[in-house]
Amino acid sequence: METISSDTGVLVPDGAVKPVGRLLVVGAGYTGQRLATAAARQGFEVVQTSRQPSPGGAASRWLPFDSQRGLVPGSADLKGITHLFVSVPPDGQGGDPVVRLLGARLRDLPLVWAGYLSTTGVYGDTAGAWVDETAPTPARPGRSQARLEAEQAWLASGLPLQIFRLPAIYGPGRTPFQALRSGTSRLIHKPGQVFSRIHVDDIVGAVLHCLALPAGQRPTLLNVADDEPSASSETLGYAAHLLGCRLPPLERYDSIEASLSPMARSFWQENRRVSNRRLCEELGYRLRYPTYREGYRACISSAYGEPLG
Ligand SMILES: NC(=O)c1ccc[n+]([C@@H]2O[C@H](COP(=O)([O-])OP(=O)(O)OC[C@H]3O[C@@H](n4cnc5c(N)ncnc54)[C@H](OP(=O)(O)O)[C@@H]3O)[C@@H](O)[C@H]2O)c1
């Protein structure tokens, strides 16, 4: 029988009703909601936050949290929270919005684990070289610097923290299929350029895998990426193959760079391969979707109900 352990020392069979812990998901967006649903299935009592007044989604309790409007849950709402999962990005005010607005309250909780979603953007451009968790995180102005400051705020929080560094997230509803079908895709080629990526359910799987480890074996920094960094022209080609549709005309990056938004340009200016050795070899996590091929096939089946051969 599969079991997970909580730091309260309780071993609980999958699907058991008795909560193994109370999990607060701060920022229940794309990844946060999937984690909330999976954790609830494993026996956690889950509380989620949103900026919306009446969000839908997984059957759990919702609390307001909006750093821009200063909306924060009260201490009574957080009573008994044992596990914390944060997927709120930096809000442009320096440091981390959750640490800034909720840090003092969080330190009063009986927290045994806190997970923070960060980005592999902190490693900067490595000209296509592999990066692991020991790689330098060069200070650069803009989003990466803001993320580094957020990581530093979490590291200084004194909470039992794990930082998960993520490349591009994809999964159901976040694939190239819709844009291919509507004719809005762009097939851009930059020689030698690759991107790492991760299926959302492997983020959830990796987080739950860490939670099932003894606390002393959970690394503070962990890359969560799949096995095969690849060119975006390659992944788009595979998506078009699965749909059986035409690819848009090939555009050379050099010839369109000036027309891209600053955000898109910064995305294309970083070329790195993110290593998952710590996650998969040292911690023994088995990826559900080792490459974009398995991931896209699963997404297309769930999106269109079209089983593929
Ligand atoms: N998407 C990617 O490819 C990618 C890659 C690497 C890292 N990341 C990072 O990984 C994390 C999860 O990504 P995701 O794509 O799952 O994110 P997402 O769907 O955008 O969810 C982010 C959550 O944060 C909440 N939020 C945003 N700004 C907030 C604020 N100022 N105050 C309070 N709540 C706020 C949102 O609230 P509402 O639900 O109310 O909108 C949402 O629940 C994010 O930090 C993201 O930056 C993403």
Q: Is it the case that residue 308 has pLDDT exceeding 60?
A: no
* Residue 65 CB–ligand 1 contact under 6 Å: yes
Q: Is it the case that residue 8 has pLDDT exceeding 60?
A: no
pLDDT in tens, 128-181: 999 999 999 997 888 899 999 999 999 999 999 999 999 999 999 999 999 999
Ligand 1 pocket, mutate which of 24, 25, 26, 31 (most atoms under 8 A from CB): 31
Ligand 1 pocket, mutate which of 62, 169, 292 (most atoms under 8 A from CB): 169
Work out which ligand 1 atom sits closest to the CA atom of 52.
40
CA 233 to ligand 1 centroid distance, Å: 26
Q: What is the pLDDT of residue 2?
A: 37
Q: Are 282 and 218 in contact (CB under 8 A)?
A: no
Lowest mean per-residue pLDDT among 109-123, 137-151, 230-244, 287-301 = 137-151
pLDDT in tens, 10-37: 444 554 456 799 999 999 999 999 999 9
How many CA within 13 A on the CB side of residue 49? 23
Q: What is the pLDDT of residue 14?
A: 53
Lowest mean per-residue pLDDT among 48-57, 101-110, 249-258 = 48-57
Q: Are 238 and 293 in contact (CB under 8 A)?
A: yes
pLDDT in tens, 265-286: 999 999 999 999 999 999 999 9
pTM assigned to the model:
0.93
How sure is the predictor about 1, in pLDDT bands with cuts at 50, 70 and 90?
very low
Beta pairing class for 3-5 and 11-13: antiparallel
**Exposed / middle / buried, residue 191 (Cβ in 10 Å: 0-12, 13-18, 19+):** exposed
Lowest mean per-residue pLDDT among 22-36, 42-56, 60-74 = 42-56
Work out which ligand 1 atom sits closest to the CA atom of 27.
43
Architecture of domain 3-169+197-225+274-290: 3-Layer(aba) Sandwich (3.40)
pLDDT in tens, 82-131: 999 999 999 999 999 999 999 999 999 999 999 999 999 999 999 999 99
How many CA within 13 A on the CB side of residue 36? 24
CA 48 to ligand 1 centroid distance, Å: 13
- 27 sits in the region (left: phi over 0; alpha: psi -120 to 50; else beta) called left
Q: What is the pLDDT of residue 55?
A: 74
* Residue 172 CB–ligand 1 contact under 6 Å: no
Task: Identify the H or E element spanning 223.
Answer: strand 221-223
Domain residue ranges of the chain, discontinuous segments joined by +: 3-169+197-225+274-290
Task: Identify the H or E element spanning 189.
Answer: strand 187-189
* Residue 93 CB–ligand 1 contact under 6 Å: no
Secondary structure (DSSP) of 5-67 = E-TT--EEETT-SS-S-EEEEES-SHHHHHHHHHHHHTT-EEEEEESSSS--SSSSEEEE-BT
* Residue 28 CB–ligand 1 contact under 6 Å: yes
CA distance 67 to 11: 36
* Residue 168 CB–ligand 1 contact under 6 Å: yes
